[in-house]
Amino acid sequence: MKKRKFTPLAVIAISFLGIIVLGVFLFKLPISTQAPGSLSWVDSIFISTSAVCVTGLSTIADLSSTLSVFGKIVLALLIQIGGIGIVTIAIYVLIVLGIKIGVTERYVIKEALNQHSLSGVINLVKSIIITTLIIETFGMIINFIVFIQEFEFWKALGISAFHSISSFNNAGFDILGPESIQLYSSNILLNINTMLLIVVGGIGFIVIRDILAKRRWANLSLYSKIVLKTTLFLIISGALIIKFFEWNNATWLQAIFQSITTRTAGFSTIDINLFSYSTLIVIMIFMFIGASPNSTGGGIKTTTLYIMFRSIKSFLSGKPVIISNRKIGIESRIKAFTLAILAFTSTLTVFIILSKIEANNVVEMPFIKLLFETFSAFGTVGLSMGITPNLMPASKVLLSALMFLGRLGPITIFGLMNKNWGHPQTSSIEYATERIIIG
């Protein structure tokens, strides 16, 4: 009998799922909570999924007073593993142990990190781990300067480390209490540190490595330039829109912070429920866009948005897609539109099902709040209007599945059903071209 091999996409999906399952059982342990007993199965599944998928949504209103020190450590580790990726961590452990990395393992890394070739993937894994630890350590030190003024040493250290991990991995979890970091909305040092950690984690490891190696804008790769330009545009435009729409509700610092955290991190220095419908819709659009490829964030990604925009501009002008004297191939353009359509369709489908499940709960679960929660789940953002703890068990499980889809990406999930993934079929037969009337 021929031994069946798992495809690289299957290995990636199974690895994430395995860590989620492990997290569920760890959260079910009585030592994970402060009060006697343990979390329910639904809550354990949801929080474990939210942590591994670096989302930040929670079915528990106050994790700080619910989880024990052990539970908080488990939560932080799941966030770290989910942000970096279990495949990346596993390969790094093998490297440290001196075990030879074969072609099969390298191909899995290539798919996990969305690389075009096997060349340099091992060095990339090393740089990802080392860079992550260095950045999070610096972030923790700055956080400590803030939190040591209010908490005793060990608690301040724990909160500082947790917040640094959660920020860099764009998770949005915090252990500060029900009001989260809203209490620190005017603390410039904590705000700037958190924003920097989110942005650095959100642009992706490839861009970070490129910046450290090249150090000059002219020398950066086209990919890095697209990511940085799109990220800067989204941050500035988001801040201006939020400030304009919420002139009396948000300061400039809050508007900038919300613009940065909205696309994937999930922290908030202002009560989301105070925002107008127009602001909430804009936030949902930004959550859908998300961070950049090979980053700790979710969404359809900044490069997808950029390629779609340039493709539409190209079609309207009748010119090819040329960026910095480089022509963008049709494969990349089709992939961008396919990803966006699959993502939107999946999110909309989940929202429709949620609306049906919560049909008898319309007072507590109005249309806009359900829609907001759904987009937050797909974008692995974690921003919430406070309805997650009150959702029906079936709704919580459904949102968990959407978070999983958002973290791995629709193309990865749907690609599991494609037996020819990575090996497209070719045919010697040439078919006549047919032009279909559109529009």
Q: Please give the tally of structural domains in the chain.
A: 1
Helices 8-28 and 393-408: crossing angle in degrees, nearest 10, is 140
The string of pLDDT tens digits covering residues 300-338 is 888 899 999 988 988 888 888 888 778 888 888 888 898
pLDDT of 42 reads 92
pLDDT of 390 reads 87
Domain span holding position 97: 8-415
Q: Report yes or no on 439 lying in a domain.
A: no
pLDDT of 416 reads 63
- Spell out the residues 6+ positions from residue 41 whose beta carbon is closer than 8 angstroms to its own: 24, 28
Region of 101 (left: φ > 0; alpha: ψ -120 to 50; beta: rest) is beta
Q: Report yes or no on 1 lying in a domain.
A: no
The string of pLDDT tens digits covering residues 182-192 is 888 889 999 99
Tens digits of pLDDT across the chain (439 residues): 445 566 767 777 888 888 999 999 999 999 999 888 888 899 999 999 999 988 888 888 888 889 999 999 999 999 999 888 877 887 877 787 777 777 777 777 776 676 666 777 788 888 888 889 999 999 999 999 999 999 999 999 999 999 999 999 988 888 887 777 888 888 999 999 999 999 998 888 888 888 888 888 888 888 889 999 999 999 999 999 999 999 988 899 999 999 999 988 888 888 888 899 999 999 999 999 988 887 877 888 888 999 999 889 888 888 888 887 788 888 888 888 988 999 999 999 999 999 999 887 766 678 888 999 999 999 888 888 888 888 889 999 999 999 988 888 776 766 666 655 555 555 567 777 677 766 6
pLDDT of 265 reads 85
pLDDT of 2 reads 46
Which among 94, 86, 65, 71 is positioned nearest to 23, based on CA atoms? 71
pLDDT of 121 reads 76
Q: Report yes or no on 343 lying in a domain.
A: yes
CA-to-CA distance for 7 and 111, rounded, in angstroms?
10
pLDDT of 1 reads 43
Question: Is 92 buried (19+), middle (13-18) or exposed (0-12) by CB count in 10 A?
Answer: middle
pLDDT of 335 reads 87
pLDDT of 123 reads 81
DSSP H helices in 148-204: 153-168, 188-203
Q: Report yes or no on 422 lying in a domain.
A: no
The string of pLDDT tens digits covering residues 351-381 is 999 999 988 776 667 888 899 999 999 988 8
Kindly tell me the sign of the dihedral angle through the C-alpha atoms of 126, 130, 132, 133.
positive
Q: Report yes or no on 431 lying in a domain.
A: no
Q: Report yes or no on 3 lying in a domain.
A: no
| Residue 246 structure tokens | 């919420």
DSSP of 56-89: ---SSS-HHHHB-HHHHHHHHHHHHHHHH-HHHH
| Residue 428 structure tokens | 């010697």
The string of pLDDT tens digits covering residues 329-349 is 888 888 889 889 999 999 999
Max Cα–Cα distance, the chain, nearest Å: 75
- Spell out the residues 6+ positions from residue 214 whose beta carbon is closer than 8 angstroms to its own: 220, 221, 224
